[in-house]
Amino acid sequence: MPHTFPQGRDVIHSRFNRILAVVIWVISALLAAATLVNGTTVRLSDLAPAVLVALLAWEALWRPFVQVDDDGVTLGNVLRTITVPWAALVHVDTKFALTLYTPGRHYAAWAAPAPGRGASNRAARAQGISRPRAPMVGQPMVDLEAGSSSVLGDQGSRPGDLPGTESGDAAYLVRSRWTALRDAGRLEVGAADTTKVTVEWHLPTAIALVLLLAATIIAIAIA
């Protein structure tokens, strides 16, 4: 039977972070409205704190993502976007967040944090399994070069691998796509050391944040 694999592009965002971003935007809008209503003379700098917080919420909470497609994995993190081709990927971990390992480097996904104890317990109960324990020292973790995968409930699986958690769902997409591409003969093996990882910095956003921070400091100083 021919091996089938996922097609197209999968994108994951942090549900909790996006909800938090909306809450922050509502608060920022209310503060900006209060400034406009209460101030007899409103300077542009008076609105800088609300705009700064809103932009921070967008960059740190709403925008981050994990994208998985046939070319590799893209991590939209705070102030930078990292693209890891499949040929460069050698290891996946979920101890603190979905983390992609390449020779000599590793990249954590801001949009796929590992769950806390309470969240991992809830996810485990929802799946009807025991809460996974972190691997003991010396136990192997998931190694993509070897093509292994974690099994929920196994001694070597992490809480961050649980389905229904942000790190677990993202890790599942990465591992399943990698395995499918490998089994279909579409993955270049042994080229990790020479495959380039692309890092794109969000310079316009960084500059805007610096300018807004400066304006905020000025607004506070002359208030």
State how far Cα 171 lies from the chain centre.
Answer: 11
Render each residue's pLDDT in the chain as its tens digit; 223 residues. 334 455 689 999 999 999 999 999 999 999 888 877 775 555 666 788 899 999 999 999 999 999 999 999 999 999 999 999 999 999 999 999 999 999 999 999 999 998 765 544 454 455 555 544 444 333 334 444 434 333 333 334 677 788 888 999 999 999 999 999 988 888 888 899 999 999 999 999 999 999 999 999 988 887 6
Contact 63, 76 (CB under 8 A): yes
Say how many domains are in the chain. 1
1 domain-assigned: no
Question: Which tokens in the block code for residue 149?
Answer: 């995968």
4 domain-assigned: no
CA distances from 163 to 19, 103, 170, 213 (A): 20, 28, 9, 39
pTM value is: 0.79
- Domain that residue 72 falls in: 10-222
3 domain-assigned: no
CA distance 138 to 32: 54
